[in-house]
Amino acid sequence: MNIIKELENLNCGKVIKNCNLKEYTTYQMDGNAAAIIFPSSIQDLKTILRFLKEKKQKYKVIGNGSNLIFDAYYEGILIKLEKLNHLNIENEKVVVEAGYSIMKLALKVSRMGLSGLEFATGIPGTVGGAVFMNAGAYKSDMGYIVKSVTVLTPELEIKELSNKEMEFHYRTSFLQTHPDYICLEAKIELIHGDREEIMDLIKERKKRRLETQPLEYPSAGSVFRNPEGDFAGRLVELIGYKGKKIGGAEVSKKHANFIINKGSATGKDIKILIEEIRKKVKEQTGIELKVEQEFVE
Cα dihedral 80, 62, 21, 49 sign? negative
- Known catalytic residue: 171? yes
Q: Which fold has domain 87-196?
A: 3.30.465
* Catalytic residue chosen out of the listed positions 8, 92, 140, 171: 171
* Catalytic residue chosen out of the listed positions 66, 148, 173, 222: 222
Helix (H) or strand (E) holding 97: strand 93-97
Structurally, at CATH architecture level, domain 215-296 sits in Alpha-Beta Complex (3.90)
Question: According to CATH, where is 3.90.78.10 located in the chain?
Answer: 215-296
pLDDT for the residue 297: 87
- Known catalytic residue: 222? yes
Q: Where are the alpha helices (DSSP H) in 83-161?
A: 102-111, 127-133
Q: Please, what are the averages of pLDDT over each run of 10 residues along the chain (297 residues)?
A: 91 96 95 96 98 96 94 95 97 98 98 98 95 95 98 98 97 95 98 97 96 96 94 97 97 98 94 98 97 93
pLDDT for the residue 237: 97
Question: CA dist 156 to 42, 48, 83, 113, 161, Å?
Answer: 10, 11, 19, 37, 15
CATH for 2-80, options being 3.90.1150.10, 3.30.43.10, 3.40.50.11540, 1.10.10.10: 3.30.43.10
Q: What angle do CA 271, 275, 278 make, to 5 degrees?
A: 140
* Catalytic residue chosen out of the listed positions 97, 118, 250, 292: 292
Exposed (0-12), middle (13-18) or buried (19+): which is 276, by Cβ within 10 Å? middle
Q: CA–CA separation, 193 vs 207, rounded Å?
A: 22
- Known catalytic residue: 292? yes
3-class state of residue 57 by DSSP: coil
